[in-house]
Structure 1
Amino acid sequence: MNKDLKQKALEIISNHRTGILANVENKKPHVRYMTFFNKDLTLFTPTKLDTEKVDEIEKNPSASVLLGYEEKGLSDSYIEVSGTSRINQSQELKQQFWDDSFSKWFSGPEDSNYVLLEIQPETIRILNNEGGEAQEFQV
């Protein structure tokens, strides 16, 4: 893995918490905005255990995430992460990524309906990188 590309990807991820998650629903793409947290390029996003996302992931774990590209778009670098997703119920991670804004949906980090979607990247592409060509690396 190219360390410079990894560092650029980590920089984009750390500067953009809101992104787009795409997965598969009934053999078609399904996209939604989510909040993402990072742990060495593995992405985590909070969700309810009883949502359709969980059912979709159990049927097809393929997922893509877009992060970045929030200003005028002309020079914003952004990343596209392609990989597989799974449900993560680690109490340690749920506590680590807990934000008080989640209280709208959950009673706290111990809420049994509060889980994390974990997106394990396989390929990361950095796009619109200072007008240059897309750069890609395998994770």
Structure 2
Amino acid sequence: MNNQELKDKVLQVLENNKVGTLASVKNNRPHSRYMTFFNEELTLYTPTSKDTHKAEEIDENPYVHILIGYEGEGFGDAYLEIEGKAEIKEDESLKKQHWNDYMENWFQGPEDPNYIILKITPEQIRLMNKGDTTPQTLEL
């Protein structure tokens, strides 16, 4: 499959799956948690609180690993392994863009100073478990 076909399959996995794991580094060890991801092309965004371990961890080491897409059916469930660099964003327009009413359980609204967005810029994306031709690495 050529790079454009691979990119289309990667984007399809991202469009069809919003929850995945985000791993950062804590005390030189991986620390993973489930997160909700929104994508714009290949850039991922996830909302969180400024007062979380992940924000501290990303301040110390911005490199993260994401698994997203596995649906639990077994071999053949396409999923992605994404290595990337995370940035903490407090841009008001970005916070409003990714705001959902379910976040009212944790934040007072999109203007809440504790509400931040993690922007993850992929450095490598691998499509996994999609037939005999995977894994395949998307050229970025």
TM-score (normalised: structure 2): 0.94
The Cα of 1:4 is off from its aligned counterpart by 1.2
* Equivalent AA in structure 1 for residue 41 of structure 2: D
Partner of 2:60 in structure 1? 59
Comparing 107-116 with 66-75, greater Cα deviation is found at: 66-75
Q: 2-side partners of 1:13 and 1:138: how far apart?
A: 17
Cα deviation per residue 1:62-116 (whole Å; 9 max; x = unaligned)? 1011111113122110001101111011111111111111111011111111101
Matched ranges for 1:40-79 at <5 A: 40-79=41-80
- Structure 2 residue matching 1:109: 3-state secondary structure: coil
* Equivalent AA in structure 2 for residue 10 of structure 1: L
Partner of 1:35 in structure 2? 36
Q: 2-side partners of 1:48 and 1:120: how far apart?
A: 19
Aligned pair count?
Answer: 139
Structure 1 residues 28 and 86, CA, compared in 2 at 3 Å: closer, same or farther? same
1:105 maps to 2:137: no
Partner of 1:137 in structure 2? 138
* RMSD of Structure 2 on Structure 1 (CA): 1.3
- Structure 1 residue matching 2:94: 3-state secondary structure: helix
Partner of 1:11 in structure 2? 12
Comparing 55-64 with 68-77, greater Cα deviation is found at: 68-77
Comparing 91-100 with 129-138, greater Cα deviation is found at: 129-138
- Aligned residues with identical type, % of pairs: 46
The Cα of 1:6 is off from its aligned counterpart by 1.1
Q: Which runs of 4+ in 1 moved over 3 A?
A: none
5+ residue gaps, structure 1: none
TM-score (normalised: structure 1): 0.95
